[in-house]
Amino acid sequence: MASPDKKAFLMRIDPGLWAEVERLAATELRSVNGQVEYLLREALKQRTHSASESTVARPRVAKIRR
């Protein structure tokens, strides 16, 4: 049974992708649900890390006037 503090939702997924997630979950000793959560967290970390890198102030390059 799901934890009361977790949001349950229905997800449609390609059978081939589901099989890959199942295989990976078994390899990493996680449930499929735990594996999906793990993959989502990792993807979000990468996305937020990439987004923060793009918002970091970059050194200005002097424009050459001709």
How do the pLDDT tens digits run along the chain, 66 residues long?
A: 677 888 999 999 999 999 999 999 999 999 999 999 999 999 999 998 887 776 555 566 666 776
CA–CA dist 32, 47 (Å, integer):
22
Say whether pTM exceeds 0.75. Answer: no
- So what's the pLDDT on residue 56? 57
Give the per-residue pLDDT at 51.
76
With beta carbons less than 8 A apart as the criterion, state whether 34 and 44 touch: no
